[in-house]
Structure 1
Amino acid sequence: MHSFYRFLGICLFVLSTQDLSAQTTSELLDSLKTELSKAKTANDRSLILSELTWYYVPVSQDTAILFGKENIEVAKSLDNPVMLAQAYSDLGYANMEKGELIEARKNYQQALELRYETGDSTKIYGTITNLGSVYQRDFQSDSAMVNYLKALSFFERSGNDRNADFIRNNIGVIYLEMRNYPKALEILLEVAAYRKAQNDDYNLAHTLMNIGNVNKNLKEFENAEKNYLDALQIFQAEGGSDYYTATTFNNLATLYNALGKSELAISNAEKGLLLAEKVGADYDYALIESNLAISYSDLKEYPKSKAYFLRAISHFKEQNAENDLATMYLLMSPVYAALGMPDSSAYYTKAYSELNKKLTEQEIQQLTSDLEARYQSEQKDAAISRQQLELRNKNFQLYGSLVLAAVLGLVGYLLYSQQKLKNNQLKQESKLKVALGQIETQNKLQEQRMLISRDLHDNIGAQLTFIISAIENLKYFDPIKETLTHRYDSIADFTRQTITELRDTIWAMNSGQITLEQLSARISDYLERAGISTQGITYDFDVDKQLDPNFHLVSSEGIQIYRIVQEAIQNALKYAYPSIIQVSVLSDIQGIQFIIKDDGTGFEESKIKAGNGLYNMRKRAEELGGTLEIQSEAGKGTAVKLTLPNKLA
């Protein structure tokens, strides 16, 4: 009941692999603060502040946030987008754990923008995963699911099974929160199987707890009991897991109370109580006391039940756990009635009614406050935009009023729709189905593209190869050998060229995305083949080391660049009679440059008739959003320069 959400394991992309005791954590934090006081460079300070932010989150979230904000200022002074992105990500983690979800989302979005600039795909999709976690904690399940599915697709493609497993776990928890128990069970069982195969017992135990909660809600009580006991066995075997062992005992007590097995419930609750007291888990201690109170009430041992209820109430008040207090007031009323104390029974019934009313009002106020905070954030951005837009057109001021009206209308709508939350859940499930359908459609399109490329390779490629073989045989047919041999050679060469271009197209179709390193390798192979077929010509190829070899291009962009390089080289071979052809890939202030240079005869572009080759190169450059420049002079060679904008660099 009240302990249910204690075991919804929402995973973050960057997970601490250390299981530190409170003393070890304290020593680590003291050590980091000592290192910070001795740090001599801003770079060292930023690295230490990042660690302090991370490790302070379970100790003091306010302190973690202070270190996180300090780190952002230090990282900004470094002009290093990688470290600044990490600083925003650490602060996002601290804000999320504190419940400052609007700030957390803003931090992660700032980290994401920087990581798009650096091009680190793993960090990009890790941040997208963490954004999904923020949305999930804000009960925006549809937005959480969209982010999770986007990241899951990447990690599955890149073979990162561990991160894919974290995301599947979070998706399973979403279905559990939305009470879609069959779907939650399906996904969580898959996660459990993976973690068992990886011998990841610690995370397996948390998954088993979630599976137990699913089975409990499905009234599969025997399965739930087995899940809890299996998790308990793992936690007891793991060193330093007293806290999770205590909470597992409490879950078993809750289950046995639901089954009317009060003696078993008491036995497990008492074990959990000792461990909770040992690790200082005050809130969980109060939860276990409430389970003992329920057990003794079911056994009609009302004095003991009353004593545990009063202790639980005292501890819940210390924790400001008002929802649990309301539950205690409701359950205590019949205990006092059974003890023949009608005044006390009426008192707690009234206390429950008043507290429940207060909690409902607080929930509405919280919804309004969250919306107002979002509105204030949007207003700040809108104010900056209006200052710029007013210089162009004062009429745009109307948009500010429209935004205000829309937000105020939304506030009214939220208050009105407080009683319709169940219907909203159904709408969210519908949105999730749409999102899943879109992913499925994308996968089907990818499969179709693979089928097309395979057909091109197996059918058309095979037929062209057969044509070449037939032509080679016809060259030795005596009656027409002398007359048509040169025509056969021409057709065979054309067919071979067609096969090469077909292979290049299949390569691009299969890739989806290609790296700069893969494109460079393709160009290098082409130059090597050209060197074999054309004697007396030297081919050089050079790539600027400042360029990131792992930078990704859309496959259609890569094949366009490759065709321009091919065409430039073929033109040089046909018309310029060069001794050297040099291809360079350079980092440029405007973006990236591909330069194809020869020492051939050159030409004056104004005195020649442009053919399809030059037209095609310029057309391809235009489609890429770049420019093509040809520099040539009669007798002094030619240079073809393809310049692409920063978005491809």
Structure 2
Amino acid sequence: MLEKSFLTYFPPNQLFMYSFYRFVGICSFILFTQILFAQTSSELLDSLKTELSKAEKAEDRSLILSELTWYYVPVSQDTAILFGEENIEVAKSIGDPVMLAQAYSDLGYANMEKGELIEARKNYQEALKLRYQTGDSTKIYGTITNLGSVYQRDFQSDSAMVNYLKALSFFERTGNDRNADFVRNNIGVIYLEMRNYPKALEIMQEVAEYRKAQNDDFNLAHTLVNIGNINKNLKEFENAEKNYLEALQIFQAEGGSDYYTATTFNNLATLYNAQGKSDLAISYAEKGLVLAEQVGADYDYALIESNLAKSYHDLKDYPKSREYYLRAVEHFKTQNAEDDIASMYLLMSPVYAALNMPDSSAYYTSAYVDLNKKLTEQEIQQLTTDLETRYQSEQKDAAIARQQLELRAKNFQVYGSLVLAVVLGLVGYLLYSQQKLKNRQLTQEGELKIALAQIDTQNKLQEQRVLISRDLHDNIGAQLTFIISAIENLKYFDPIKETLTHRYDSIANFTKQTITELRDTIWAMNSGQITLGQLSARISDYLERAGISTLGINFEFEVDKSLDPNFSMVSSEGIQIYRIVQEAIQNSLKYAYPSQIMVSVAQVGEDFQLEIKDDGTGFDESTIKPGNGLYNMRKRAEELGGKLEIGSETGKGTSVTLLIPKA
């Protein structure tokens, strides 16, 4: 008989969370939102009504009324409409276009599920006007989608599809997968109504897979009902039954889903009627009838009555079939559902014939013909009105543009000019594109030449670095080594051995230190770029050598494991950091007399942190005269674009902390 396909709509929860954060100072809402989703539908509605009775501010009342409107739709559509109408008045008193738009949208949803499509369209259009003012693109296209659903319910599939495609393009472009899924579901329902079942099934299966992956059982159940309708129309009755029962199980498990349970009962009744299982159809239809009456779903109540009428007709219980058809007609009349009324008239005619009431049979046959003719005339009249409006508009434009002189000739001239303009524009665009492409190629060639020149320069610089480092190593290094050897030999020259040995040792040590620093410089020059791992290894090697040469002092080195050892830096930066470590440790050894020195490397926020800490005597920086060591360390930190912090307290040790922004 008549089945129910599910559309999906955009809920108010996004507004609720927006408003919640906006009014985060309201203590009652903090507790309220914590328990909101842990309750059954009945408990949720009771909690919302309790909160409404306590709410004093208009903003608080509007937020709660929005939720009550939405969550009452599957429970009692009449109650939902009452809350929605109250919310509009409250939102108007606030003067907030965001909250007023949501109030109109919530009421539009309740109107649509009630079958009041004119009111639904009016409220959604009001919401859309306000959302264009606030500029919330997601809400704008959500409302466009919901307007499409109203058109679809009113059998205006072309208008619905225009809205859906416009919204789908936006949601896909902005990566809003969830809202795009809602729109695809509704497009699938349009294909179902157009009886393009393969296309409808393809879209619905895609929607079902997405909702399964998101664990969105409630909306998955809607999709399963739609797939069941497709399978029923394809006469895949076993698959359709499986789809419906799976959806029914989800709806019955969800608290407060009586409305959707009722419509699924109706779809099962439709399926069993199609299979000739009238008794089974009646059992499900009667269950659906009870629930539809409880939630005030008048249109769906009428659909279920029509299914019961069909079942009793098939069982040849014509009096009962007539009773349900007459009841369905009365309910459809209250919904202004003239297409459904016409269908009832056509189906009632053979019932009256079977009851041996030929006059009544003829009456309903005639009523069907008259109503169908009226609907056809209305459709033609609407089409004629549209065409007439378009014609008058074209005539007005033509009168202004051509002053009613030589209409056809001037039309030809205008269209010829337009074609010529298009051709010239196309040629101009092609020439412009070609020139633009040539300019881009020239720019890219110039950039390539610059890049090649930079690479060549870098290669030459690297060659110079290698030559300089080789000269430093081969010439200056060899000379310093010779000086050390000569000094070592002079120490054993008896006439001056006793008096100059200390002086020789000092010169030799200075020269050895110079060689060490020279090697560090050569290492940095050869590298060009060094990694954090290489720098860490260099520091570790230095600490190991320091530990060997200074007995009684424990050296430790730690590198945060979260740091990437392959993180690279310019070699000049690496040697600056290394020199700061050397200077800090030498100062500690020279003045602090520590028993332990700790060097650590870590990341603090967005900064690279190097800390050298000892447990030595410490000092009060305000009472000492800073020497070259402290000045050099601060200067190096400044050249690195970082900051050097020195913390020390007499008797409690010293810490030198280098902070460098991590590029």
Report the TM-score, using the length of structure 1 for normalisation.
0.50
Residue of structure 2 equivalent to 1:239: 255
Return the offset for 1:114: 1.8
Select which of 248, 263, 272 maps to 1:256.
Answer: 272
Return the offset for 1:102: 5.2
Select which of 63, 86, 110 maps to 2:130.
Answer: 110
Change in 2 beyond 3 A, CA 1:332/1:183: same
Return the offset for 1:272: 2.9
1:175/1:181 contact within 8 Å kept: yes
Per-residue CA deviations over 1:555-578 (Å, capped at 9, x if unaligned) read xxxxxxxxxxxxxxxxxxxxxxxx
Residue of structure 2 equivalent to 1:88: 101
Per-residue CA deviations over 1:246-276 (Å, capped at 9, x if unaligned) read 2212111212222333343234333433444
1:473 correspondence with 2:463: yes
1:145 correspondence with 2:165: yes
Change in 2 beyond 3 A, CA 1:88/1:312: closer
Residue of structure 1 equivalent to 2:627: none
Residue of structure 2 equivalent to 1:225: 241
Residue of structure 1 equivalent to 2:427: none
1:193 correspondence with 2:213: no
2:11/2:70 contact within 8 Å kept: no
Cα distance in 1 for residues equivalent to 2:182 and 2:295: 27
Cα distance in 1 for residues equivalent to 2:52 and 2:196: 46
Q: Which one-letter code corresponds to 1:290 in the other structure? A: S
Residue of structure 2 equivalent to 1:266: 282
Change in 2 beyond 3 A, CA 1:255/1:471: same
Change in 2 beyond 3 A, CA 1:51/1:302: closer
Written as runs of structure 1 = structure 2, the 5 A alignment for 1:116-515 is: 124-138=137-151, 139-156=159-176, 161-277=177-293, 279-317=295-333, 320-360=336-376, 468=458, 471-477=461-467
SS of equivalent residue, structure 1 residue 4: coil
1:75 correspondence with 2:98: no
Cα distance in 1 for residues equivalent to 2:383 and 2:280: 41
My pick for the range that moved more, 362-371 or 280-289, is 362-371
**Structure 1 stretches lacking a partner, 5+ long:** 77-83, 117-123, 376-400, 407-452, 483-495, 497-527, 536-578, 583-649
Cα distance in 1 for residues equivalent to 2:39 and 2:383: 36
1:4 correspondence with 2:4: yes
1:209/1:228 contact within 8 Å kept: yes
Return the offset for 1:63: 5.7
Cα distance in 1 for residues equivalent to 2:466 and 2:258: 86
Select which of 47, 50, 53 maps to 1:34.
Answer: 53
SS of equivalent residue, structure 1 residue 183: helix
- The structure whose RCO (Cα within 8 Å, separation 6+) is larger is 2
SS of equivalent residue, structure 1 residue 260: coil
Cα distance in 1 for residues equivalent to 2:124 and 2:228: 31
Q: Which one-letter code corresponds to 2:2 in the other structure? A: H
Return the offset for 1:331: 0.7
My pick for the range that moved more, 348-357 or 329-338, is 348-357
Cα distance in 2 for residues equivalent to 1:162 and 1:215: 25
Return the offset for 1:224: 1.9
Change in 2 beyond 3 A, CA 1:86/1:148: farther
Cα distance in 1 for residues equivalent to 2:265 and 2:63: 40
Per-residue CA deviations over 1:27-61 (Å, capped at 9, x if unaligned) read 5665455345x32xx65566556556656774353
1:108/1:131 contact within 8 Å kept: yes
2:45/2:71 contact within 8 Å kept: no
Cα distance in 2 for residues equivalent to 1:23 and 1:154: 37
Cα distance in 2 for residues equivalent to 1:33 and 1:366: 46
1:111/1:127 contact within 8 Å kept: yes
Cα distance in 1 for residues equivalent to 2:360 and 2:40: 43
Return the offset for 1:150: 0.9
Cα distance in 2 for residues equivalent to 1:303 and 1:283: 23
RMSD value, Cα: 5.0
Q: Which one-letter code corresponds to 2:53 in the other structure? A: T
Return the offset for 1:402: 5.9
SS of equivalent residue, structure 2 residue 174: helix
Change in 2 beyond 3 A, CA 1:231/1:337: same
Cα distance in 2 for residues equivalent to 1:462 and 1:173: 59
1:148/1:171 contact within 8 Å kept: no
Per-residue CA deviations over 1:293-339 (Å, capped at 9, x if unaligned) read 21232233434433433343344445554433322221111122123
Cα distance in 2 for residues equivalent to 1:27 and 1:188: 35
Q: Which one-letter code corresponds to 1:141 in the other structure? A: M
**Structure 2 stretches lacking a partner, 5+ long:** 17-35, 112-116, 152-158, 398-443, 473-527, 529-568, 577-637, 642-663
Return the offset for 1:469: 5.1
Residue of structure 1 equivalent to 2:434: none
Per-residue CA deviations over 1:233-252 (Å, capped at 9, x if unaligned) read 22233333333222212111
Return the offset for 1:4: 3.2
Cα distance in 2 for residues equivalent to 1:102 and 1:315: 23
Return the offset for 1:14: 4.1
User: How many residue pairs get matched?
Assistant: 399
Cα distance in 1 for residues equivalent to 2:451 and 2:259: 64
Cα distance in 2 for residues equivalent to 1:45 and 1:13: 15
Written as runs of structure 1 = structure 2, the 5 A alignment for 1:539-558 is: none
Return the offset for 1:74: 1.6
Change in 2 beyond 3 A, CA 1:21/1:321: farther
Cα distance in 2 for residues equivalent to 1:127 and 1:343: 54
Per-residue CA deviations over 1:555-612 (Å, capped at 9, x if unaligned) read xxxxxxxxxxxxxxxxxxxxxxxx99x9xxxxxxxxxxxxxxxxxxxxxxxxxxxxxx
Cα distance in 2 for residues equivalent to 1:287 and 1:45: 36
1:13/1:130 contact within 8 Å kept: no
2:263/2:300 contact within 8 Å kept: yes
Return the offset for 1:197: 3.2
Cα distance in 2 for residues equivalent to 1:345 and 1:479: 111
Return the offset for 1:212: 1.3
Cα distance in 2 for residues equivalent to 1:322 and 1:12: 30
Per-residue CA deviations over 1:171-214 (Å, capped at 9, x if unaligned) read 43344344443233222212212322333222211110011122
1:192/1:204 contact within 8 Å kept: yes
1:202/1:235 contact within 8 Å kept: yes
Which protein shows a greater Rg?
2
SS of equivalent residue, structure 2 residue 95: helix
1:101 correspondence with 2:90: no
